[in-house]
Structure 1
């Protein structure tokens, strides 16, 4: 999540084409290419038109179970937090939008960054309060999957589609995916705090696809044979398009996981 985009924070997100026009030929594969891909895989009569699916985590695959400001306020009452929820959300966005002096916002477990965000949002610097908030979001109960996500992932995996998470997140992501019973669905889980790059940097997408940093899990699929789904115009769409990777914006191009499934498991040429 880029420093200038507060709305791209995983805790804020709930359920540009023109600069990349030169890539349109690479991103719109011919009907013949799609049929060749589809013919090479199984899937019970619905062969995949793409060999790989990359998914953003926060705001796409992972949705917060309840509003952030409500959570901060309810936990904060035990620590003397009196700031109204509207003010908490304003402070949260302000902190997330502020320039971050380091290369990565999320390094390791992300505590240094989130400590600043929580303090700015609530005006509370109590270490115990921060730790309780931080630990709350480290458990699957704080998050939910979109309707049909687990079923779609299973169907795509059974059809031979390689699956990856590509996320600007800290190391808590691994546990969250496990808690929500989807970690075993993915061939690769690429977390910015571990690989040293944040979207929209091309390197993080290349790592997931298998074009860089071979010490990490990869799906081994070319960019022209994969699609990325995320909810941020810059981090997801611009970043993916920059390496010739198609991107569907969550909430705009696709709104449900069943729609993602139907666009991938088809032999029809949408062009």
Structure 2
């Protein structure tokens, strides 16, 4: 991926996603890009990992505060709603909306503030060593990396509960 386009950025992330689509498909046609971008604006283009919705419900029912901290674009809220999980989160913090991208400590601090939890009493689950783990650890927030520290949503549930 191009070094100058690491995260979606502001708005709907078109400049970032244009590079991703071009590199993934070899096609730079604008019409093709718009079709792909529009397709991924709807929840039916996405799916939750196995156990995702069940685990979120169980954690929420147990009183665990849940937040999304994402380097995504403005489409994320709609996608979470389309996937019927947005109501499970006490906070949704999107980099393109708050002006900070992981690994910046501020994006993690915003999420913790919104859910009213201290970093020492929370865990962040992510998939990137730098953006997630280094960013979270910089403010004293534990981070579990997907496929390294945890491999399933059920494992996350069991470790938390």
**Other-structure match for 2:103:** 200
Give the Å deviation of 1:105: 4.1
**Other-structure match for 2:153:** 257
**Other-structure match for 1:99:** 4
**Other-structure match for 2:11:** 108
**Do the aligned residues in 2 keep the contact of 1:236 with 1:247 (CA within 8 Å)?**
yes
Give the Å deviation of 1:230: 0.6
Q: Do residues 173 (structure 1) and 69 (structure 2) align?
A: no
Q: Check 1:257–1:120 CA distance in 2 against 1; reply closer, same or farther (3 A cut).
A: closer
* SS of alignment partner, residue 162 of structure 1: coil
Q: Distance in 1 between matches of 2:48 and 2:25?
A: 27
Q: Distance in 1 between matches of 2:20 and 2:53?
A: 31
**Other-structure match for 2:140:** 244
TM-score, length-scaled by structure 1? 0.57
* SS of alignment partner, residue 113 of structure 1: helix
Give the Å deviation of 1:152: 0.9
Q: Distance in 2 between matches of 1:259 and 1:106?
A: 31
* SS of alignment partner, residue 176 of structure 1: helix
Which runs of 5 or more residues in structure 2 are unaligned? none
**Other-structure match for 1:234:** 130
Higher relative contact order (CA 8 A, sep 6+): 1
Which runs of 5 or more residues in structure 1 are unaligned? 1-95, 211-217, 266-271
* SS of alignment partner, residue 171 of structure 1: coil
CA deviations over 1:116-138 (Å, ceiling 9, x no partner): 33234444332221111001111
Q: Check 1:153–1:104 CA distance in 2 against 1; reply closer, same or farther (3 A cut).
A: closer
